Homo-oligomer: A and B are copies of this chain.
Amino acid sequence: METRFLKTFLSVVDSNSIAAAARKESLTPSAVVQRLRALEQEVGAALVQRAGHSTRATEAGLAILDTARRLVEAAESMQGLANHNEEVGTIRVGVIHSIITGLLPDILSAMKASRPGIQVEVPGQSSDIYVRLGEAVWMPPSSWSRPSRSLKPLYGMNCAGIR
């Protein structure tokens, strides 16, 4: 069982949307659907119920939800455990807009490089901060509707740094 698949499953359940989960995980909706399919085949039950434009977890999906969350959290903490870093976990950062395309990429990039145990995430469903930082730092797939103003990866930070 691939813990990354479980993480996208959690994203789908939390946002009730495959497209939103795809944006959050830097994947195409197609990939999200395929990950869900793989998971559903592995556990032998449907996990999300397709209801038109939205989705919601099935009974089976709800049943594994807690276990899946613990599992993903454990998997992400393992990198820190292996390097006996005290610095493991998540910090939540709020900044004003001008910082987003200015200093923030530099800071995140340096932090990611010096502290491998830290997970860098850009939360929020299509919130402004996400869009701006994503545009400054990473080139989205061409299938995305957002008209990316031909911005390339900057500040030495690539897609792998943003999760």
A residues bordering B, Cβ < 8 Å? 1-4, 42-45, 47, 59-61, 63-64, 67-68, 70-71, 74-75, 77-79, 81-84, 116
Contacts and interface: CB of A to CB of B under 8 A. Distances in A.
A70 B82 CA distance: 16
A79 B43 contact: yes
Contacts of A84: 59-60, 63
A44 B83 contact: yes
A71 B81 CA distance: 14
- Tell me how many chains of this kind the complex includes: 2
B44 A82 contact: yes
16 contacts: A1-B3, A1-B4, A2-B2, A2-B3, A3-B71, A43-B81, A43-B82, A43-B83, A44-B82, A60-B82, A60-B84, A63-B84, A67-B74, A67-B78, A67-B81, A70-B70
A98 to B, nearest CB: 34
Nearest to A70: B74
B83 A64 contact: no
Contacts of A70: 70, 74
Contacts of A67: 74, 77-78, 81
Given A1-B3, A2-B2, A116-B44, A78 B59 contact: no
Contacts of A64: 78, 81-82
Contacts of A47: 82
Contacts of A75: 1, 71
A54 B67 CA distance: 35
Given A1-B75, A64-B78, A67-B81, 19 more contacts: A1-B2, A1-B3, A1-B4, A3-B3, A3-B71, A43-B79, A43-B81, A43-B83, A44-B82, A45-B82, A45-B83, A59-B84, A60-B81, A60-B83, A60-B84, A64-B82, A71-B74, A71-B75, A74-B74
